[in-house]
Chain A
């Protein structure tokens, strides 16, 4: 297999149809009143906003903007609102800054300088807001994680990845960007620089160490059981770099799985207790 950008090409109308059907059926079967989603202004959540609205109608989709003082900026907010307006979603804004401050002040061992631990509080706080709304309004939390960040473990455990459904989790970031454009999201928003916004000036590609165009091809190769030497050779990369990506993918499995329990009894939750989802 040749690892060229064409391997990531999709039949976008077909993908769009499958995703919207998936969302619609899930919401219907769950007997929910609609969807709750977090709107960051980034390409993933904008794409989810569009897909959700096309699936069940914008009046049944509530987008929450959850800014906080350190990382929020007017551009992200206006990007999120413009997509919400285009796809006729309702929105609400909750400034989570006071909640975060309360966490920082309450945790005895809180370390202001540890920006990762601090940033994770932000992602988990957003999750709490989303689930409050979902509980209260009988709605489903719709996640916006993509395959690139999920494979890399580039998310906060029980934070931004926490959701009831994740409609674009099987699409790499570069594929999401193309789907976004196909959905009618303006090109500048579809191509917008990705950031998890855990601290100011945090950029995904800087942290991941490469462009998504390259990362997605590496991940595509790993997904199809190609060995790292072959991937490195084809993409003209140092094998150490590809190995690093592979190790990061494998070592993040704990973030993608149900809780691990020791096998003690007949059937064990998370291992051989295999039940279908109720919806």
Chain B
């Protein structure tokens, strides 16, 4: 496993409903990332289709494997790159249910995927109307490191990143489609989730305006001590390279031993209290 890897935070806007154009953009930026010696390129939540596509999701969702993931697999194979991107997934098994999915592809094919566990269905969000929630966190042992996945609103629930970290993830990738009115929350949460888990957290957000909803970008890599290592521009497309040094986890944990000081017995209480709300 590499000790240091280079990430490319590909903060893009999507053309809604236009998978062909969005795949073209994924391809273009993956090639750019390769040229700049990145190991992993990360794209936002649901960037394959755009975020506000409503009932069109029923037509746009694809199985994994499916035409779009096959194309990204081919791209990863050709370039030797690792790619994370978001798409609406049609369940292979039921062919009827959908997930909001982060797909992780490497040179050998699909490494794994993560189904968003917390689906916002309040305010302007209507994800539960369309998607089935995921039931498992995701952490993958790969040649470029132990990497976990989560999606946007998951960040409000520390248990997701905690479980991901406890499964061994040293870099947690969070893909997002967060609108501007929520920017301050995510600026806090991204730092908090990295710090409390002493892990790296790469956050890649959508930009652009979809049905009046403005996505704020501001993608970033946060260090295990909660510092912003690199940050993309607000409100416009950007492409940022940054480095993850996995050795930093050890020194961070020595300084803020949040994992050493975990109290497992509290989680039983937490479970009980949560059931009693």
The interface bits of chain A over 188-224 (1 if a CB of B lies within 8 angstroms of the residue's CB, else 0) are: 0000000000000000000000000000000000000
Interface membership of A98, Cβ < 8 A? no
Interface membership of A18, Cβ < 8 A? yes
| Cβ contact within 8 Å between B210 and A18 | no
| Cβ contact within 8 Å between B52 and A276 | yes
* Chain B neighbourhood of A22, CB < 8 A: 209, 212, 214
CA distance in complex: A1, B65 (Å): 50
| Cβ contact within 8 Å between B209 and A276 | no
| Cβ contact within 8 Å between A277 and B211 | yes
Interface membership of A225, Cβ < 8 A? no
Which residue of chain A has the shortest Cβ distance to B126 in the bound complex?
A: A274
The interface bits of chain A over 13-42 (1 if a CB of B lies within 8 angstroms of the residue's CB, else 0) are: 000011001100110000000000000000
Interface membership of B37, Cβ < 8 A? no
Interface membership of A275, Cβ < 8 A? yes
Interface membership of B55, Cβ < 8 A? yes
Interface membership of B2, Cβ < 8 A? no
* Chain A neighbourhood of B50, CB < 8 A: 276
Q: How far is the CB of B147 from chain A (nearest CB, A)?
A: 32
| Cβ contact within 8 Å between A275 and B54 | yes
* Chain B neighbourhood of A26, CB < 8 A: 209
CA distance in complex: A105, B16 (Å): 49
> Could you tell me which residues of chain B, from 1 to 60, have a CB within 8 Å of some CB in chain A?
16-17, 50, 52-56
Q: How far is the CB of B12 from chain A (nearest CB, A)?
A: 14
CA distance in complex: A53, B126 (Å): 34
| Cβ contact within 8 Å between A276 and B54 | yes
Which residue of chain B has the shortest Cβ distance to A23 in the bound complex?
A: B209
CA distance in complex: A273, B16 (Å): 17
| Cβ contact within 8 Å between A276 and B17 | yes
CA distance in complex: A273, B58 (Å): 12
* Chain A neighbourhood of B63, CB < 8 A: none
* Chain A neighbourhood of B52, CB < 8 A: 276
| Cβ contact within 8 Å between B214 and A274 | no
CA distance in complex: A267, B54 (Å): 13
Interface membership of B208, Cβ < 8 A? yes
The interface bits of chain A over 56-80 (1 if a CB of B lies within 8 angstroms of the residue's CB, else 0) are: 0000000000000000000000000
* Contacting residue for A276 out of B16, B180, B208, B235, CB 8 A: B16
| Cβ contact within 8 Å between A273 and B209 | no
CA distance in complex: A274, B55 (Å): 5
* Contacting residue for B209 out of A17, A21, A275, CB 8 A: A21
* Chain B neighbourhood of A275, CB < 8 A: 54-56
Q: How far is the CB of A93 from chain B (nearest CB, A)?
A: 32
* Contacting residue for B55 out of A17, A25, A273, A277, CB 8 A: A273
* Chain A neighbourhood of B209, CB < 8 A: 21-22, 25-26
CA distance in complex: A226, B48 (Å): 40
CA distance in complex: A17, B233 (Å): 14
| Cβ contact within 8 Å between A276 and B214 | no
| Cβ contact within 8 Å between A18 and B180 | yes
> Could you tell me which residues of chain A, from 258 to 279, have a CB within 8 Å of some CB in chain B?
267, 273-277
* Contacting residue for B56 out of A17, A18, A21, A276, CB 8 A: A276
A sample of 30 inter-chain contacts (CB < 8 A) reads A17-B235, A18-B180, A18-B214, A21-B209, A21-B214, A21-B235, A22-B209, A22-B212, A22-B214, A25-B208, A25-B209, A26-B209, A267-B55, A273-B55, A274-B54, A274-B55, A274-B126, A275-B54, A275-B55, A275-B56, A276-B16, A276-B17, A276-B50, A276-B52, A276-B53, A276-B54, A276-B56, A276-B210, A276-B211, A277-B211
Report A's interface with B, CB cutoff 8 A. Answer: 17-18, 21-22, 25-26, 267, 273-277
Report B's interface with A, CB cutoff 8 A. Answer: 16-17, 50, 52-56, 126, 180, 208-212, 214, 235
Known: A267-B55, A273-B55, A276-B52. 19 other contacts (CB 8 A): A17-B235, A18-B180, A18-B214, A21-B209, A21-B235, A22-B214, A25-B208, A26-B209, A274-B54, A274-B55, A275-B54, A275-B55, A275-B56, A276-B17, A276-B50, A276-B53, A276-B56, A276-B210, A277-B211
